[in-house]
Amino acid sequence: MLVTTLHDQSARGFASDNYSGVHPEVLEAIAAANGGHQIAYGEDDYTARLQEVAAHHFGEGVTAWPVFNGTGANVVGMLSMLPRWGAVICAKTAHIHSDEGGAPEKSGGIKLFTIATPEGKLTPELIEQEAWGWGDEHRAQPLVVYITQSTELGTVYTPDEVRAITEYAHERGMLVYMDGARLSNAAATLDLPLRAFTTDAGVDVVSFGATKNGALGAEAVIVLNPAASAGLVYLRKHQMQLASKMRFVSAQLLALLEGDLYLRNARHANAMAGRLRGGIEAGLADGTLHGVTFTQATQANAVFAALPPGVADRLRDRFRFYDWDASKGEVRWVCSFDTTEADVDAFLTALRAELAS
């Protein structure tokens, strides 16, 4: 019996790339992995193949650990890098601080040292604010630096910027964890292989995000530096991220990474964000739009802007999206692998009408 479709499939929004459906090629991969029996808990052919594909993208000697979601990937990944007394330095806007319900602290017992950043990006100079106190028994020890690629503000680290952070951290005995929930979008922006701004730039552990980029529900913790991580084989189960039928999680990751689907999807989402920003810029220039100001550079698949009072609430009657800082009228619009040009143009038309009213 087929499940009855309960939602309006024509409804579109710009709230999150998590709102999108599953890419057809990912669904096909899940179906292809079905049938017969495969050993559970990761001893299957698809998870074994994933190790080969991860090595292709990130370098020999890496290990990919499939998990269910991004929060789980972050908690498990960081826990594997820290002793009980370890702390993590991150941006104040970091997902682990602002959007994960306290999971790193409550589930992982990880102390977070947060730093205000103008563009969501850390620098060695900013990290230095919290990189101190080693050997002080009264202070949690800063042992991991957490960065996000692309960042929560839609900005992208260059390889040189990542390398500056990893060199600074490693010189002080710290490790670097990269949250790659939108790693593919960064690769599309930079037009570089995944390893160019991860492995080759000195990152120790990275998460590869798939759910926001066309998967049903799949992420992976990828250990780039084996000396930086320990106990993942236990921690993944301990943190409830061990899939019994792991072949279906791995199949989703393979669908994205064996070819170029991860890049095709990300390039499209980025292009749609560029179209959205370009349409607003054109409207500001010719006077058909007024009152919109951009608050961040658009470097991946998100547009950040401030709107006049009331506009966002009225616009949300037709298109779902989130306030970023309601006190400033700042909103975030996110494009997905399945956002169409027509979606963007319809949104621009609605925005133009609301601003005019």
pLDDT of residue 3: 87
Contact 86, 140 (CB under 8 A): yes
Q: Are residues 202 and 323 in the same domain?
A: no
Partners of 88 in beta bridges = 112, 144
Cα 305 from Cα 291, distance rounded (Å) = 10
> Do residues 202 and 62 share a domain?
yes
pTM exceeding 0.75: yes
Share above pLDDT 90 across residues of the chain, in percent, rounded to a whole number: 95
Same domain? 196 vs 324: no
For residue 7, tell me if it sits in a domain: no
Same domain, 189 and 48: yes
Confidence of residue 357 (pLDDT cuts 50, 70, 90): confident
pLDDT at 356: 87
Vertex 12, ends 10 and 17: CA angle to 5°? 130
| 250 and 325 part of one domain | no
Distance CA 95, CA 20 (A): 20
pLDDT tens digit sequence for 77-122: 999 999 999 999 999 999 999 999 999 999 999 999 999 998 999 9
Are 132 and 227 within one domain? yes
| Domain contains 6 | no
Same domain, 56 and 146: yes
Domain co-membership, 249 together with 270 = no
Distance CA 141, CA 130 (A): 10
Range of the domain at 325: 262-356
Lowest mean pLDDT among 159-163, 216-220, 314-318: 314-318
Range 34-58 average pLDDT: 98
Give the mean pLDDT of 298-326.
95
* E strand residue ranges, 92-229: 111-115, 141-148, 175-179, 205-209, 219-223
Q: What is the CATH number of the domain that holds 230?
A: 3.40.640.10
* Residue 325 belongs to domain with CATH number: 3.90.1150.10
Q: What is the pLDDT of residue 21?
A: 95
Tell me the CA distances in angstroms from 141 to 107, 126, 138, 171, one per residue in order: 18, 17, 9, 15
Co-location of 220 and 117 in the same domain: yes
Residues 135 and 222 in one domain: yes
Q: What is the pLDDT of residue 12?
A: 87
| Residue 27, pLDDT above cutoff 90 | yes
Q: Quote the mean pLDDT of the chain.
A: 96
- Looking at 242, 259, 276, which one is the last position of a domain? 259
> Is the sign of the CA dihedral 190, 193, 196, 197 positive or negative?
positive
> pLDDT tens across 222-243, in order?
999 999 999 999 999 999 999 9
Count of domains for the chain: 2
Which of 6-20, 62-76, 338-352 has the lowest average pLDDT? 6-20
Q: Are residues 208 and 318 in the same domain?
A: no
Asked whether the predicted pLDDT for residue 10 surpasses 90, the reply is no
- Residue 274 within a domain: yes
Together in a domain, 299 and 223: no
Residue 1 has pLDDT above 80, yes or no: no
pLDDT in tens, 278-301: 999 999 999 889 899 999 999 999
Q: Look at residue 118 and tell me if it is in a domain.
A: yes
- At 112, phi and psi to the nearest 5? -110, 130
Which one of 220, 242, 259 terminates a domain? 259
- The domain boundary residue, chosen from 226, 259, 292: 259
